[in-house]
Structure 1
Amino acid sequence: MKRKLLNSMLVALMAFASCESIAGFEEGKAAFMARDFTTALKEFKPLADKGDKQSQHIMGMMYDEGQGVKQDYAAAAEWYKKAASQGNQDSQYNLGVMYAQAQGVKQDDVESFKWFEKAAKQGHILSQFALGRLYTVGRGTKPDGKLACDWYRKAAEQNHYKAQLALGKNYLDGNGIKKDVVLAESWIRKSAEQGHHKAEYELGMLYRDGIAVKKDAKEAYMWFELAGKQNHEGAKLAADTLAKTMKAEDIAAAKLAASNWHAKLPADAKPVAH
């Protein structure tokens, strides 16, 4: 359903720099960065036992990933609960995922929704997007298109590329929000410009059909080409179909434009297709 905040321990440790005044935290961080997980565990566990929420979150992640300890999802969930109950939004998000996926805890959509909501209200971007999805499908809560759009917007405004696409498509179709093709194009473009293959395809369709933009076969082909390179089958088919109506030189120009566009994207703005 959703990915937990894993493989990001270094990021977490750097984010918790404010904890450096707590004896043992800096030692734990140094040990972890040196991949000495056993020592890191010895430093973080006493802090976690004393109630330090950051250390509790890190303990949860170490059990989640099996770093310095045998992987144990139930133990991870317990540590996340301790940190989440103190307001740690990353632990709240991870708990939401675990309840959704029955990982270390019994599957519970209502409990999953509760933890996502707590984190989302603190501005946690992944939780905001998760709430949008849950309100869309009615999982753990009643379906509510308006609230789905509200949460998608919060995440989209924080540059979450999937939320930008979701909000754009809702504007395009008038789902949960007044139909507005101009705003639809704007949000879909924001997502596509981050390299999201599904948004690239949708933007290509807008150019192909002349919705909110001037009809432009070359521009449409460029976006289809970009999405197709990320194995979007619909985009590949759309490009092949469109090519039958285009001049060879226009196709070549569109392919070159796609290549140049992709090269300009920073590495972290090229999402893996999933």
Structure 2
Amino acid sequence: MINERHSLPLRTFVGHYWIQEMVYLGKDTICYRAEDMRLNRQVLLREYYPSDIAKRHVKQNDTYMVDVEPVQHDIFTAAKKQIRNTYTILKELNHGSIASFKGFFEAHGTIYMVFDYIDTKTIQLSLEQKIKYSENEIGVFTKSLVVALTALQYHDLNVCHIQPDMIHMNKKKNAVISGLTDFIPLMSSYDEHIIYDIGLLMYVMLKGTPLEADEEVEELISDDNYSTVMCELINRMLSPKLSNRPKSLQEIQTLLSIYNKEEPLSQPVLSETKSNPFLFVAKLGSIVMILVFTIYLLYNQLKESKSQEISTLKNVQSHKVSEIDNAEEQRTLGEINEKVYHNIPKAVQLYKKAANQGNLYAQLRLGNLYKKGVGIRRDDQQAAHWFLQAAKQGDSVAQYNIAYFYYNGIGIAKNKKEAEKWFEKAAEHDSDNATYADGKIYYEGDGIEEDYKKAFQWYVKAAQKGDIGAQYKLANGYDYGEGQTKNYKDTMFWYAETDLRVYNGLKEKPLGAINIAAFLPYDNDSKEYTTGYMYEKKKDDKQALKWYLKAAKQGDHRAQYKLGFYYLWGENIKHNHVKSMYWLKQAAAQRNVHAYFGISYLYRANQGIPKDESLAFQWCRKSAKNGDRTAQKLLGSYYEVGTGTEINYNKALYWYEKAAARGNDDAHKLMIDLKKKLKIKS
């Protein structure tokens, strides 16, 4: 069983993440609030730590390693593989009600998962602070939670449990599943236990207090604040008999469809009147009659609506497509078949009926399904046909897709002019990919007349949106005068905006991008490091820091050292010992010997980094052995007074002499003083 002693110490590094707080202990995971030192943001870091087979030890370089017994190694490796597979799927799922998963990495012998850190209160904390939820808030919240869980199901994932301390409510009253939740492969028994968990969550939100360990769940009875509909739904979800519970998440979603994102308007409060009690009674009687009649109408409306929903669901499950004529209803049922029942052929059948009546969403779904061959045979001609239909209705996604199909001759005859027409239409609707593609067509002149000026116009639009390919094209254009006048300043600007790391894995690398080196003092250095160096010489520390940061993120150990130096001793930069330690250790890991002394200093300074004289001594000794005369002098003093090590006068004299020989006057004086103390003649 994991407990707090298994967690990493605070203020330690895992990769470029700085541990700030342990926030959750799971069965096999430990969750931390950490700072991403590269992006200066808070993240949630999940560490896989199966305490029954793993243990932690500290290496000499203060790295906390997770070790597993050899006989358990295969189990540990298989579990990490399963985690990678599960979270790879989760990364592809971009859902507003699920914390954004940023990726995973292996370090210190185990695997870590990175999520966005959600800074809002959990439901558990809100309940502990006696925050009350209205019925509409509970309905909207639960409906969004069910939609998120359905999306997970569609991607063959689920969660182990739904608990109040793992769920947040955002400003729109929607649920957000945090990264504390255990995401696992979908199992057949998913709905049975998860429906109970959702019901229990709704129960405590309605009650307004957390459920105590020995507290039993009571049957809910409607009152002035909570309707019979809400109470009966929760009672069903918590029923001991499985047969009484809703059968699926889809059924719960349907029952919650009456709740809107905005609170219903409350009735005005009637003030009592003492001047005419008979008038008051008459008014009260009228109000009661109106309320009774309203309830009657609502009851019949709900009954009729429920009957229609049951009929619709039966049509879906029994595939009576012929009974459904409305295009939007056909589209909805197609989506249910696709995403809930995973019956793609039936979904396609329903989508086609809706698409033939002009339903845009159905046309788009058909285009995508045929394009990817998901659950049906891939058919480029069908994909092109439906994308074209949707494109004619003005959808930018469809316009880009049909342009791409025309450009490459996929499922339709190759036609560069048609491709350019649809790329331009998509670009006019702010499609980023289409904006760049339009520029590319005019630049290459393949199938249409070459026009550098038009290409340049589209590249400008794409570059301003952050398209790195367009930024490079602009830089190259300004460099060689293609489509615009040669301009040194703009060439520098757009090359600087281009992050060359993106191109490292491409077959066709932008060879012209290295032209920027011709403007800078060191031909062999990266443009980021050299630009930082130029700003440093100009005493513009903020710009130097910006460019050194770009180079450091690419792995340049000199830039990493420079960052550590700036954060530690920079004149016009706010000092930050935590960031300094991070970048100096990154440089030291690449054997940058200049970083060793800074690390030693930070372990002595006790400002943001816990003071550790032993580690200060170790890093000082590393620096001294690599020839730093200041470190050599300091190491001599460590040996003389016993800081971080045992007193050793012989070694103290040795290092004083080393530093003095390299011109350190202070070391020379310390050496003479120690010799006098030891009565040694010079």
User: Residue 140 of structure 1: SS of its match in structure 2?
Assistant: coil
Distance 1:40 1:220 in 2: 53
1:215 to 509, 521, 544: 521
Cα separation, partners in 2 of 1:11 and 1:98, compared to 1, 3 Å: farther
Matched, 1:87 2:394: yes
Matched, 1:180 2:490: no
Q: Which amino acid is 2:420 matched to?
A: F
Hey, what does 1:131 align to over in structure 2? 438
Hey, what does 1:55 align to over in structure 2? 362
1:65 to 364, 367, 372: 372
Cα separation, partners in 2 of 1:148 and 1:29, compared to 1, 3 Å: same
Cα separation, partners in 2 of 1:69 and 1:202, compared to 1, 3 Å: same
Cα separation, partners in 2 of 1:40 and 1:10, compared to 1, 3 Å: farther
Hey, what does 2:214 align to over in structure 1? none
Post-superposition Cα deviations, 1:132-190, rounded to whole Å, max 9, x if no partner, equal 11111112321111110100111111111111111111011111011112212222222
User: Residue 69 of structure 1: SS of its match in structure 2?
Assistant: coil
1:129 Cα deviation (Å)?
0.8
Distance 2:497 2:331 in 1: 39
Distance 2:375 2:469 in 1: 34
1:222 Cα deviation (Å)?
7.1
Cα separation, partners in 2 of 1:205 and 1:85, compared to 1, 3 Å: same
Cα separation, partners in 2 of 1:108 and 1:100, compared to 1, 3 Å: same
1:94 Cα deviation (Å)?
1.1
Matched, 1:206 2:512: no
Q: Which amino acid is 1:215 matched to?
A: P
Q: Which amino acid is 1:220 matched to?
A: S
Distance 1:32 1:44 in 2: 10
1:114 to 421, 431, 441: 421
Post-superposition Cα deviations, 1:38-91, rounded to whole Å, max 9, x if no partner, equal 454355333323212232112111111111321111111110110000011111
User: Residue 96 of structure 1: SS of its match in structure 2?
Assistant: helix
Distance 1:10 1:104 in 2: 28
Q: Which amino acid is 2:557 matched to?
A: L
Matched, 1:154 2:455: no
Hey, what does 2:552 align to over in structure 1? none
Hey, what does 1:167 align to over in structure 2? 474
Q: Which amino acid is 1:206 matched to?
A: I
Distance 1:33 1:257 in 2: 51
Hey, what does 1:241 align to over in structure 2? none
1:32 Cα deviation (Å)?
4.4
Q: TM-score, normalised by structure 2?
A: 0.28
Distance 2:501 2:487 in 1: 22
Give the greater-gyration-radius structure (CA): 2
Post-superposition Cα deviations, 1:103-147, rounded to whole Å, max 9, x if no partner, equal 111111111111111111222111111111111111232111111
Where relative contact order (Cα < 8 A, 6+ residues apart) is larger, the structure is 1
2:502 to 195, 207, 222: 195
Question: Would you say how many aligned residue pairs link Structure 1 and Structure 2?
Answer: 214
Q: Retained in 2: the 8 A contact 1:136–1:144?
A: yes
1:24 Cα deviation (Å)?
5.7
Post-superposition Cα deviations, 1:5-43, rounded to whole Å, max 9, x if no partner, equal xxxx9779x9xx9xx9x5465665565456553454355
Hey, what does 1:232 align to over in structure 2? none
Distance 2:398 2:470 in 1: 21
Q: Retained in 1: the 8 A contact 2:367–2:385?
A: yes
Q: Which amino acid is 2:369 matched to?
A: M
Distance 1:258 1:31 in 2: 55
1:191 Cα deviation (Å)?
2.1
Hey, what does 1:268 align to over in structure 2? none
Cα separation, partners in 2 of 1:29 and 1:256, compared to 1, 3 Å: farther
Distance 2:360 2:558 in 1: 49
Q: Retained in 2: the 8 A contact 1:54–1:88?
A: no
Cα separation, partners in 2 of 1:186 and 1:26, compared to 1, 3 Å: farther
Distance 1:117 1:123 in 2: 10
Q: Retained in 1: the 8 A contact 2:331–2:361?
A: no
Where is the strand percentage greater, Structure 1 or Structure 2? 2
Q: Which amino acid is 1:185 matched to?
A: M
